[in-house]
Amino acid sequence: MRAVPRWSLGADATSMSRDFLFTDFTQAFAFMTQLALAAEKRDHHPEWSNVYNRVNITWTTHDAAGLTQLDIAMAKLCDSLFERYQQ
């Protein structure tokens, strides 16, 4: 978790989550579209929700019933994608 300091560990430590705030829905959905394509490519998919300019993402590995290196990698990817949306 030291590698992804902006993410919070779930209560049972089997997942981690982060809220992302954008300027508007268009930016939020563009981010989600980019992430969706990356997730499909890696066959590792987010649990997420979106309300207007806010996207909440949870990573867990269902196959392992917990957190794996892949979740860390995807969280890092979210962080770096999100940086591009910051002005």
Using rule CB under 6 A, residue 45 touches ligand H2B? yes
* Cβ at position 15, least distance to ligand H2B in Å: 9
Neighbours of 22 (CB within 10 A): 20
From residue 47 to residue 86, the character string flagging contacts with ligand H2B as x (rule: CB under 6 A) and all else as - is --------------xxx-----------------------
Backbone angles phi, psi at 83, to 5 degrees: -55, -35
Task: Return the number of the residue (45 or 54) whose C-beta is nearest ligand H2B.
Answer: 45
Whole-angstrom Cα Rg for the chain:
12
Cβ atoms of residues 52 and 28 within 8 Å? yes
> Binding residues for ligand H2B, per CB under 6 A?
43-45, 61-63
